[in-house]
Amino acid sequence: MEKGYIPSKEDFTLLQRQDLYTDTNFASQSYWKSVAMHFFKNRRAVIGLVIILLIILFAAIGPSMNEFGYRDIVQYRNENNKRVVAKGIAPQIPALHKLFTGEELEGNFSQYTFLFGTDDLGRDLWTRTWYGARVSLLIAFVTIIIDMIIGMSYGLVSGYFGGLTDNVMQRFVEIANSVPRLVIVSVLAIFMPKGMGLVIVALLLTEWIGMSKIARAEMLKIKEQEYVLASRTLGAGHGHIIFRQILPNTIGPIITQVMFSIPTAIFTEAFLSFVGVGIALPQCSVGTLIEDGFNNITTLPYQILPPIIVLALLMLGFNFIGDGLREALAPKLEDM
C-alpha cells in the first residue's frame, strides 16, 4: 500500500491506452510440476522412492561389485586333492574382523569377503541376492507394462462403448477374476515347462484385471465431460477419442495402480518359485533364494535374511510410492 505517496500535478493525466484488449494474465504452474511438488513433500513417498532407487542401483551393479558370478561355486582343491567348497559360511568381512578383534580371520576361505555369506552350494549370497533382485524386477516390470497396455485398453474400450459391449466384456472379466491364481498356474504347468516363461504368462493372465477396472472407472467418469463431447462434435473417431483425448487424463490413476501391481507381481513370482513352479536353476530370483534359505532356516538363518529383506523393502517401497502418487494426483482446487 502506497500510504504517504504525495502526488504531483503531472500524475493526474489520463493514460490514453490502446492496448487494453489483449488478455495477458495467466497462472504459471504446470500440472505435473505441482504433482511433483506434492509428491516430494510426502516423506513416506520419498523414502519409498529412495528405497526402490537404491535396490535398483544394487540390482544393476551389485553382482559385479565382487569377483564372484551368481553361479560361481567358491571352491578349491586342497593338498589331498579334495574339493573344498565354501558352503554354509556365515557373513564374513575379514577387514572388519581384524578391526574389531585384532586377529586374522580363521577358516578355509578367510581371504574372501562374503557380505551375506554363502549358500549350501558354495555360492556368494551377495551376488546371488542382487542378481535375484534383478531377475525379479525385470519380470515384474515387463509383465506389468504389458498388463498395463492390455488392461488399460480393455478397460477403456469397455467403458467407452458401454451398453452390450461393456456388459459382455465385464462378464468376461468377472469370470477371469474368479479363477484362483494357483489353478491357472497348475493348468499352465501342464502345458508349459516351468521357468520364467510360466511365471510371466501366469502374471499376464491375472494382473491385467485390476488395471482394466481402474481404466474403466476413469473412462466412465470422463466420457461425458464436455471436452470429450467437443471432440465428438469435431468429428473425431472413437480411437482418437479413447487413446488421444481420454487416455492422458487417466494416466495418473493407472500409474498408481502400476505401482501397486509391481509388488504383487514380485511376490507372485517369489511364491511360484518358492513352490517350485518358477525359475529354473541355476537362475535365481528372490523367490528361489527364499526357498533355498528356507531349508536351513533353523541352522543357517543368515541365508534367508537378505532375500526376505529385499522382498519386503521392494514391496514397502512400491506401496509407499503408490500411496504418495495417489495422494499427489488427487483432485484439488485448481488455481485461485
Partner 1 sequence: MSENKTILNIRDLDISFKTNAGTVHAIRGVNLDLQKGETVAIVGESGSGKSVTMKAAMGLLDANATVNRGEILYTYTDEKGQETTVDLLKLPKKQLRQHYNGQRIAMVFQDPMTSLDPTMTIGKQIMEGMFLHKNMSKEAAKARALELLQLVGITDAEKRFKNYPHQLSGGMRQRVVIAIALSADPDILICDEPTTALDVTIQARILELIMDIQENMKLSVIYITHDLGVVAKVADYVNVMYAGKIVEVGNVNEIFFEPKHPYTWGLLSAMPDLETEDDRLYSIPGSPPNLLHEPKGDAFAARNQFALAIDEKAEPPLFQVSPTHWAATWLLHPDAPKVEIPPELQARLERARKEAEKYL
Partner 2 sequence: MSQTNKNLQEPLLEVSNLIQHFRVSRSFTVKAVNGVSFNIYPGETYGLVGESGSGKTTIGRSVIRLYQPTSGSVRFQGREIAGKLDGETREVLRKDMQMIFQDPMASLNPRKKVEDIIGEGLMIHGLAKDRKERQQLVGDMLKKVGLSPEHAARYPHQFSGGQRQRVGIARALIMNPKLIIADECISALDVSIQAQVVNLMKDIQEETHCAYLFIAHDLSMVKYISDRIGVLHLGYMVEAGTKEEIFSNPVHPYTKSLLSAIPHPNPEVERHRTAVAYDYASSGIDYAAGTKHSVGGSHVVLGTDEEIRTWTA
Interface residues with partner 1 (CB under 8 A) are: 1-2, 5, 7, 9-15, 17, 20-29, 34, 37-38, 335-336
Q: Which does 336 bind (CB under 5 to 8 A by kind): partner 1, partner 2, none?
A: partner 1
Least Cβ distance, residue 34 to partner 2 (angstroms) = 9
Least Cβ distance, residue 31 to partner 2 (angstroms) = 6
Return the DSSP state at 146. H
* Cα torsion 155, 159, 165, 166: sign: positive
* Stretch binding partner 2 (CB under 8 A), from 28-36, 72-80, 163-171, 282-290: 28-36
Q: Is 279 left (phi over 0), alpha (psi -120 to 50) or beta?
A: beta
- Mapping DSSP to helix (H, G, I), strand (E, B) and coil, where does residue 8 land? coil
* Stretch binding partner 2 (CB under 8 A), from 24-32, 96-104, 107-115, 167-175: 24-32
Return the DSSP state at 80. T
Task: Please give the residues from 217 up to 236 whose contact with partner 2 meets the rule CB under 8 A.
Answer: 225-227, 229-236
Under the criterion CB under 8 A, does residue 22 sit at the interface with partner 2?
A: yes
- Pure H helices in 31-76: 31-41, 43-61
Contact 315, 309 (CB under 8 A): no
Under the criterion CB under 8 A, does residue 2 sit at the interface with partner 2?
A: no
Q: How far is CA 10 from CA 7, 13, 14, 15, 18, in A?
A: 8, 6, 10, 11, 20
Q: Which does 2 bind (CB under 5 to 8 A by kind): partner 1, partner 2, none?
A: partner 1
Least Cβ distance, residue 39 to partner 2 (angstroms) = 18
Q: Which does 38 bind (CB under 5 to 8 A by kind): partner 1, partner 2, none?
A: partner 1
> Which residues fall within 8 angstroms of residue 14, CB to CB, at 6 or more apart?
none
Q: Which does 95 bind (CB under 5 to 8 A by kind): partner 1, partner 2, none?
A: none
**Contact positions vs partner 2 (CB under 8 A):** 21-31, 225-227, 229-237, 240, 245, 248-249, 334-335
